[in-house]
Amino acid sequence: MTHEERVRKEIIQNFGEAYKAFGLNKLMGYVVALLIYSPKPLSLDEITRQLGRSKGPVSQIVRRLRDRKLIRKVWEPENNRKDYYEIEPEIFENAFRNNLELIKNNTRIASYIKEKVPADEKVLAGRIDDMLHFYKLMEKHYRNFLAEWIDERNRLMQKTDSKKRK
């Protein structure tokens, strides 16, 4: 194995662990890493081959990744029997948005408790108020971040475009 290949394998491994740490399937991380690495779209077969897995799980994982908008299907005119996949350009933003949904759920839980809990339960009521405050503020900052990111991304893209025009 060349040095390059070893690094590549290690990175794929890292993505797997990172995805697992977020409570997702390792294989999801592998596929994502593979597609980030690949300059051109990959077919399902190539993914299964490169990861040494069988088609079943890869097919399912690919669907979940598409649902989460982390990868996308692309048309390859030369072979329209096969499905080709590439990384979604906004993969990180989209992953973040998925996470935001979890946070919203926390806010929902807090709201729900707040309305259900008798007001004389001072301790509990205080804790829930805390929780609600916290996650609402968190959502606010999440949105701030997204807005600023989109700004920055646009700036970066303009730079890239002007380079291309040269």
Partner DNA sequence: AACAACGTTTGAAAAAAATCAAACGATAAA
Partner DNA sequence: TTTATCGTTTGATTTTTTTCAAACGTTGTT
> Strand pairing partners for 42?
85
63 binds, among a copy of itself, DNA, none (CB under 5 to 8 A by kind): DNA
CA distance linking residue 30 with residue 61, whole number of Å: 10
Torsion of CA 131, 134, 140, 142, to 10 degrees: -100
Q: CB–CB of 146/93 below 8 Å?
A: yes
Site for DNA in 25-54 (CB under 7 A): 25-27, 43-45, 52-54
93 binds, among a copy of itself, DNA, none (CB under 5 to 8 A by kind): a copy of itself
- Of the pair 68, 136, the CB lying nearest DNA is at 68
Q: CA Rg, the chain, in Å?
A: 21
Residue type, 93: E
- Of the pair 48, 88, the CB lying nearest a copy of itself is at 88
107 binds, among DNA, a copy of itself, none (CB under 5 to 8 A by kind): none
* Choices 58-66, 100-108, 134-142, 149-157; region in contact with DNA by CB under 7 A: 58-66
Nearest one of 147, 144, 118, 112 to 131, comparing CA atoms: 112
- Of the pair 50, 106, the CB lying nearest a copy of itself is at 106
- Of the pair 105, 158, the CB lying nearest DNA is at 105
Binding residue (CB under 7 A) for DNA from 81, 116, 141, 163: 81
SS3 85: strand
SS3 78: coil
Residues in contact with DNA by CB under 7 A are: 25-27, 43-45, 52-57, 59-60, 62-63, 79-83
